Structure 1
């Protein structure tokens, strides 16, 4: 294990011991954060998977209704009916903190009516299709927010994992190794100093 490049003296030894305490505490906090993030991520991922499957099933029914309407309506009439949109959607974005990860929350405000055409030249199947598309919009926006939250949490888990690994496998072992090295050097210096003192005492006594 590589040591840190420091001078082997008591001041550095004291500093490294303090740093080691801080590093171990930080490692524990980051490890706890990582475990909590992974648990929250897995729970959210399961819910979002179910949510996505439900939304995809609704979308399938929407497209089926629209394909039926297109098959039953003349192309020119269908184009004329859909030329001018009757509804507007405004998306608002707020943010909340989930395990130190700032995730978005999208709100949707729908105005107007999806059925913005005369009913004389269109069939009921088109009405059903457009109403279904209109009703699924909030669910699509909510799903987008949840999937964005999952992506952000995944990124944060990866960052935290790298920090935990850096502390666990690099910084803490290197600090421990350096503390042992400095301690050994200081002990050698003490023994050498003690040996010189003893020799000096012997020389003084001999005279």
Structure 2
């Protein structure tokens, strides 16, 4: 690009440089915030995965005890029914970015196991809690992917501004300034020549 080598073009170019620099700063701040959020999600994913693993181990131990009380055949024949409920999907906005969420809306019936001791009621409820936790982990996984993509794309824009747009603007600004200085010298030289001619003609 080549702006007209005049003061108006120089002022316009300086304004464009200011806008580009400010935009770069805003995007860099955005990247920093997204990176913080990214690692918060990574940490939460690890914590929730551990919860799911620990909860499954506990539930399976309880099922082993249940089998010893009412027999394997009874447990299998009276196995957990498919949970009644519905999967809800949505998203929440963070810095204008839609992060996915998966929620399990429980039915009033929930899981049902027939002929089990009352003290194992918590076992069937725990399965629903595990399902909800797994869905939460799924939402976090997707959010991590969305954030990772957004960070990469924003960095590309920052790199473009930093390595291409701003250097080109600054080079153009320098060219206009040099050209204006050159024109000013030419004008001064012409003025001196005219002044000298006028003095000679007197």
Gaps of 5+ in 2: none
Match of 1:41 in 2: 38
Q: CA deviation at 1:159?
A: 1.8
Counterpart for residue 203 of structure 1: 197
Q: CA RMSD in A?
A: 3.4
1:53 counterpart residue number = 50
The number of aligned residues is 197
- Report the equivalent of 2:133: 139
1:67, distance to aligned residue in structure 2 (A): 9.4
> Which residue of the partner structure matches residue 18 of structure 1?
15
- Runs of 4+ in structure 1 deviating by more than 6 angstroms, as ranges, are 63-70, 127-130
* 1:16 Cα deviation after fit: 0.5
| 1:89–1:110 CA contact under 8 A, matched in 2 | yes
Question: Judging changes above 3 Å, is the alpha-carbon distance between structure 1 residues 162 and 67 closer, same or farther for their aligned structure 2 residues?
Answer: farther
CA distance in 2, matches of 1:86, 1:189: 84
Matches within 5 A, 1:30-109: 30-59=27-56, 73=72, 78=76, 85-109=81-105
Is the 8 Å Cα contact of residues 85 and 110 (structure 2) preserved in structure 1? no
Correspondence for 2:166 among 167, 172, 193: 172
Calculate the TM-score normalised by the size of structure 2. Answer: 0.77
Change (3 A) 1:135 1:43: closer
> In 2, are the aligned partners of 1:65 and 1:128 still within 8 Å (CA)?
no
For 2:148 and 2:92, locate their aligned partners in 1 and report how far apart those are by CA, in whole Å: 16
Distance 1:64 1:173 in 2: 65
Query: Cα 1:5–1:68, aligned 2, differ >3 Å: closer, same or farther?
Result: farther
Q: Could you state the TM-score of these two structures normalised by the residue count of structure 1?
A: 0.76
